[in-house]
Chains A and B, each alone.
Chain A
């Protein structure tokens, strides 16, 4: 089966600009996750969707980050405006159902904010 797709793979922007990331999960996977991974740290959950609904967005900086998952399939994560500390790898993952199942990760998008 095809894996989790993400685009773009790399993005460089200036602070205060906006950026959007796209994720296409594995077909049939109900749950989709967005993580932020800062260099040298583990992935930090930003938002978790189950089908169309948000299960957990407690660590999403809602003043600048937004995410949506239309029709329970693809998802986009947006940052507006970006700050220097947003420089990180943004990982998308999907799982068959909930967190009791293994997660399949995409290759990530490396964001550099200058």
Chain B
């Protein structure tokens, strides 16, 4: 079974709006990573947050991690049509990387 579960499954917003997607997991982790996948392409790494960190930023991306709630969120600010993709969280626990089923984000121009 998958360790990470993303919510919502699908999200549709207008260009310029913010997009928030969440990831919940069940067991303790060493780190959590977010990846993006454009249709028909491989995954691209976005950001890694370690278990002792609470928040990280990278450009228009903001990731938070709450280990007490076993959850993480990815915020994309000022979204663009090019942000349309599937977003996956991957949890690293005991040296094993496990992906969720992703959130499909559609940004309408």
- Write the residues of chain A forming the contact surface with B, with a CB cutoff of 8 angstroms: 4, 33, 35, 40-45, 48, 55-56, 91, 93, 98-108
Chain B contributes a number of interface residues (CB within 8 A of A) equal to 23
- Write the residues of chain B forming the contact surface with A, with a CB cutoff of 8 angstroms: 2, 30-31, 33, 35, 41-45, 48, 50, 88, 90, 92, 95-102
Given contacts A42-B2, A91-B43, contact A103 B97 (CB under 8 A): yes
Residue of A nearest to B90 (CB): A103
Residue of B nearest to A106 (CB): B42
Q: Are B88 and A98 in contact (CB under 8 A)?
A: no
Residue of A nearest to B92 (CB): A99
A55 to B97, CA, bound (A): 11
A98 to B33, CA, bound (A): 13
Q: Are A33 and B42 in contact (CB under 8 A)?
A: no
State the Cβ distance, A26 to closest chain B Cβ, in Å: 12
A84 to B34, CA, bound (A): 31
Given contacts A91-B42, A100-B30, A103-B45, contact A43 B99 (CB under 8 A): yes
Q: Are B101 and A42 in contact (CB under 8 A)?
A: yes
A-B contacts besides A42-B88, A91-B42, 9 pairs, CB < 8 Å: A33-B97, A43-B88, A45-B96, A48-B97, A56-B96, A101-B48, A103-B33, A107-B41, A108-B41
